[in-house]
A = this chain, B = another copy of it.
């Protein structure tokens, strides 16, 4: 599954957000997501699988717990894709800065 498709799902985006704070167990993730989205534990587990298989997360076992961490690689891909478009808003920022500088000089 492609990186953009993975991010297409709000539950998965939320999980990635949660993981951005640091390592979490499957259970912790499931608890939060269940509370927020009202879906079954199985549904969450399946999203976790997608995240694993698409490289967004890696897992480490500790007893019966599974500890998930983000792998930023695919996020970076998205960032790279976005790169050429960034000029659209940084341009405006530049323009804004120029304008501000001009205003300041006039004072």
**Chain A contact residues, CB within 8 Å of chain B:** 2, 4-5, 7-8, 10, 13, 16-17, 20, 70, 72, 75-76, 78-79, 81-82, 84-86, 88-89
Contacts and interface: CB of A to CB of B under 8 A. Distances in A.
Contacts of A7: 4, 7-8
A85 B89 contact: no
A95 to B, nearest CB: 14
A82 B16 CA distance: 11
A75 B82 contact: yes
- Does more than half of chain A's interface fall in helix, strand or loop, or is it mixed? helix
A82 B88 CA distance: 17
Contact of A72 (B2, B4, B89): B89
9 contacts: A2-B8, A7-B8, A20-B85, A72-B88, A72-B89, A75-B88, A76-B88, A78-B82, A79-B86
Nearest to A92: B72
